[in-house]
Amino acid sequence: MPAYVIVNTRVSDPIRIQTYRDLAEQSVKQFGGHYLVRGGFMRVLEGPYHPERMVLLEFPTVERAQAWYASAAYAEAKQAREGIAEFEMVLVEGLL
């Protein structure tokens, strides 16, 4: 069953975040994931939630998504974003 990682990001250094993006993209691919959304048009339709930049990742399973997040490859990406970005991430299992 597919799994999705929903991410809201706040970036304070758009130049330095590119290193994170490159490393994160490589790590996502290693675990069979891919990007469905990377920024772009966004409008809040209901509620007080005010995300800044949304990213949506799809993985083959919850287990693969969890393995990606816990991996050394993604740890390197997380280290690259320290001090220049804040992330909120949610892992959700999809339906067939």
In this prediction the pTM is 0.92
Question: Cα separation of 52 and 61, whole Å?
Answer: 27
Q: What is the pLDDT of residues 12-52, one digit of tens each?
A: 999 999 999 999 999 999 999 999 999 999 999 999 989 99
Question: Cα separation of 38 and 57, whole Å?
Answer: 9
Looking at the domain that runs over 3-43+56-93, which CATH code has it been given? 3.30.70.100
Residue 4 confidence (pLDDT) above 80: yes
C-alpha gyration radius of the chain = 13
Q: What is the pLDDT of residues 66-95, one digit of tens each?
A: 999 999 999 999 999 999 999 999 999 998
Residue 8 confidence (pLDDT) above 80: yes
Spell out the domain ranges in the chain.
3-43+56-93
